Structures are given as structure tokens and as C-alpha cells.
Amino acid sequence: MLALATLIANYPIIVAVILTIYITKFIVVMRMYQDDYWVMEAAVIEDPKAWFAWHMRGMKRWEAQSYREALINWVMAKLISPKEFKLLFNISVVLRLLKKEQEAKEYFALALQNMIPGQEEELKPIIDDYNKGKLRLLT
């Protein structure tokens, strides 16, 4: 305690600078704890080249029924990771929902080409549902 009091008394400007840096960082980070929307936004800001952050941001837009924004975020994620099955499939679902059948078919074909080896059995019901017109996303 005495050492801290001596430090504060002898070097008030240094202590003020350190506290200011800490408080500024805390204010920026504090937004992330308001809800998970801000966690996704902060993840994209911290690392714009992380495709999964863009994917989760698209999922948040999907949950808010903002389908065009979800499509934009998934396309951004696709630019980072162009062979990700999950992204290609979700883009295909959104395009089909937006009545862009030709583009949806192209992305669905791309998704099938980039299917993860060994996952065919698990993905078969999802692909069958897609072909029947039941659209669901991969999270």
C-alpha cells in the first residue's frame, strides 16, 4: 500500500496515463458484454480476415430477418474462405429465398463440390430438404 501511495504521489502523470489507457480499453470492450450482437461486431473489427466472424455476423442478420444483409456478410466471408461448404450452402439458401434461382443453383453446385469428405451421410437429409424446398441454414 505504501509503495502504491508513493508511486501515485511521486508520479501522478504516469499513473493518470496508465489509468486513462485502461479506462479507454474498458469502455471499448464494455460494449461486447451488452449482448452478442456487439461480440460479433467486435470480432469483425478485431480480425476482419476471420471468415467465421463474418459468418456469425450473417447469422445475426438472418435472425433479425435482414436477409440481404445476411447475404452480404456471407459473401464477405466467402471472399476470405471461398471453399467453405457452410458458406456456399447458406448463400444458396438466401439466394433461393430471394427468388434468384439461377445463382442459387450455381452456389449449391459449388457447395456440393466443396463438401467435407466423410460428411456425406450427415448432410444427406439437409441436401434432400433443400431439394424439396425446405430451406434451412447451417450454423
Question: CATH number, domain at 102?
Answer: 1.25.40.10
- pTM, to two decimals: 0.78
**Does 26 lie in the same domain as 48?**
no
**Does 80 lie in the same domain as 41?**
yes
More confident residue, 35 or 12: 12
**Does 82 lie in the same domain as 16?**
no
pLDDT digits (tens, 9 = 90+) for 19-42: 999 898 888 778 777 777 888 888
What does DSSP assign to residue 48? T
Residue 115 counted as domain residue: yes
**Does 46 lie in the same domain as 8?**
no
Please check the confidence at residue 105 and state whether its pLDDT lies above 80: yes
Residue 11 counted as domain residue: yes
Q: Domain span at residue 9? A: 1-33
Alpha helices, H only, the chain: 2-10, 12-30, 36-46, 51-63, 67-80, 85-97, 101-113, 120-132
- 32, three cell numbers: 461486447
Angle at 61 between CA 60 and CA 67, to 5 degrees: 145
